[in-house]
Amino acid sequence: MIRAAVIAVAGAFVGIAANFFSPRPAALGRAVLPNADTAGVACQDPGAAAGRVSVQEAKALCIACTAAFVDARSAQEYASGHVTGALHLRPGDPIEPLLPRLSAAPTVIVYDRDRECAAAGRTAAALKAKGLRDVRILTGAWSDWLAAGGPGESGTCADCTAAGR
């Protein structure tokens, strides 16, 4: 019995240590729920034109400079703070002037102000319709990005102004 208890404790210690050093550690101490049951994750429509990306995954792509970000909020919201280097493109805005920059990125991530992702969904669908292949919608919203410590800046969209918008 003692030997079994020692093995169980050692196994638990090794498992917790391995989880700590894992690049995608399990959330210990919290219930594991399917995304549909998770509070605040409303951007999970399987029929949507664009896939989803978590804040943590998007943050890694941002830091590695392997994704372009598109802010689908109002001009005032964009100017007050946005993902570093994000382009400003609201639903219905002309996409063509920004296509060269967006096409150069392997992944385009669209976000907006609310967790329902309505504006981000419409903008992502328009980008996909213009031929961009890997367009994703940030699961969550700008506030979730900030809460996760994602890089941000404020000011107007210089690339958008140069493109005549």
Question: Does 115 score more than 70 pLDDT?
Answer: yes
Domain boundaries defined on the chain: 41-162
pTM: 0.69
Q: How far apart are CA 17 and CA 126, in angstroms?
A: 45
CB 85 within 8 A of CB 66: no
Strands 135-138 and 51-53: parallel
C-alpha closest to that of 68 among 89, 93, 41: 89
Tokens of 83: 């993902």
Q: pLDDT digit string (tens) for 47-64? A: 456 789 999 999 999 999
**Architecture of 41-162 per CATH?**
3-Layer(aba) Sandwich (3.40)
The neighbour count for residue 13, using CB atoms within 10 Å, is 10
Question: Does 144 score more than 60 pLDDT?
Answer: yes
Question: Does 97 score more than 60 pLDDT?
Answer: yes
Written as one string, the DSSP assignment of 70-117 is EE-S-HHHHHH-EETTPEE--TTS--GGGHHHHHTSS-EEEE-SSTT-
CB 106 within 8 A of CB 67: yes
C-alpha distances in Å from residue 81, one per residue of 8, 151, 155: 49, 10, 7
